[in-house]
Structures are given as structure tokens and as C-alpha cells.
Amino acid sequence: MTQKVSTEVQTESTRIANGIKKPGQSREQTKLIAAGIEKGIAEYKKQHKAKARQLDKQKKQKIRSNTAAAAKENEAEIEIEQTQASSSRLPWALLALSWAGFAGYLVQNGVLSIG
């Protein structure tokens, strides 16, 4: 399976191959060297793209985990606020209940008469 190589890469590889050409080297050998350089450049670009994709995935995953952690933290804060709101009513309810019990005790023992 051959990959299509851009004309820029072909031109660059040919320039590099001609730059490292040895005396007495045939044109065919230079073409083979240029083809090897093209393959190397293509492989480098392929690896570079794979690394960039991997970094992008890691970045997105980190953002998702931070967002999820923030959402959990927000839910926990809401839960705490709800618990605090309901727990602030509890002492008042107990106070009212104790006063009602105290008044009932006084009425039952004849200390306090109603009507």
C-alpha cells in the first residue's frame, strides 16, 4: 500500500538526496535515496500526527474529568446546604415540642389551669 506524498516532500527529499550525493553515485541510486527520505518523512509525519492525537485525547479526558469533579463537588455543596437547612429547623422543632410537653405536664398536674 503506497502513500501519496506531497510534491513538497518529494522536492525536499530530492534536494536532500542530491545534497548528500557521493561522487560516482548513479542517478538511480540517488532516486532510491530520495525515496527512502520520502518514506522517512512520511513516517515521521504519521508518528507526529499520532502523538498529537494522543495528546489531544489526554487533554480532552483531563478536561472531562475536571468537569466531572467540579460537578460532583457542586452536588456535594448543594447536599450540604440542604442538610444544613433541614438541620437548622430541627432545634426549633425540638424546642417547641419540649415547651408543649412542659405545658402539658403543668396542665396535667394542676399547676396550670386552662379556662
55-99 pLDDT, tens digit per residue, is 999 999 988 888 888 888 888 787 777 776 666 778 888 899 999
Is 0.75 topped by the overall pTM? no
- State pLDDT tens for residues 30-55: 888 888 988 888 889 899 999 999 99
* Residue whose entry in the numeric block shows the C-alpha cell 506531497: 6
